[in-house]
Amino acid sequence: MKKQAKISNAVIKRLPRYRRYLKELRKKGVDKISSNEFSTLIGYTASQIRQDLNNFGGFGQQGYGYSVDGLYHEISAILGLDKQYKMVVVGAGNLGQAIVNHTYYYKSGFIVSAIFEVNPKLIGLRINDIEVMDYENIVEYVEENEIDIGIICTTMDAAQEVADKLCFAGVKGLWNFAPVDIETPGHVAIENVHLTDSLYSLAYHINGAQEHNKK
């Protein structure tokens, strides 16, 4: 597998979709697929698919196409999904609980080790047998348990402070659901997830479709 220093974020964001479709093809017993067949299935052009995959090396064979199983495992390795990650959730409200439940039922190598909360009414509860712990102890816990990822489900005002503590404690990445973009040191990866932005985009597309139908 060839690795380059600079791969565009747009390419990286398409890889999970490739993997998801390949996973379904594996379940159906499909052994190989051409870029044209994959294009029809996934909605990207065949040229786009080939360009994306060529960033990481040549996975296809002329006249054969791609091995579904082989490409699935290659993309899994590129995304780092061939290993496990230990995670903590900060914020045991509705969103935090939903994420804990999601990772519990869709086990894929991302393991929630603990949940942290400032509300004393929630501390001590168990969500899918994972204890809600006092936020005061988060740095010590992350350091001692070598946590890889911190998931932030707090208010906007608390998010940056939580991020700073998690980065200080040694996490490698943050998955931020607070409605604010947070800053991290260069060595800590960050993915800011804005649920309302996605909802607003949906509203635009709904209205755009309606406007198009009026013409």
Here the CATH number for the domain that contains residue 22 is: 1.10.10.10
| CA 206, chain centre distance (Å) | 26
Note whether 58 and 103 are same-domain residues. Answer: no
Same domain, 92 and 174: yes
Tally of structural domains, the chain: 2
Q: Tell me if 58 is assigned to a ligand binding site.
A: no
Is the residue at 35 inside a domain? Answer: yes
Going residue by residue through the chain (215 aa), what tens digit of pLDDT does each one get? 444 457 899 999 999 999 999 999 999 999 999 999 999 999 999 999 999 999 998 777 766 789 999 999 999 999 999 899 999 999 999 999 999 988 776 677 899 999 999 999 999 999 999 999 999 999 999 999 999 999 999 999 999 999 999 999 999 999 999 999 999 999 999 999 998 998 999 999 899 766 655 55
Residue range of the domain that includes 63: 9-78
105 and 182 share one domain: yes
The answer on whether 199 is annotated among ligand-binding residues is no
Residue 209 lies in a domain: no
Residue 95 marked ligand-binding: yes
In this prediction the pTM is 0.85
**92 known ligand binder:** yes
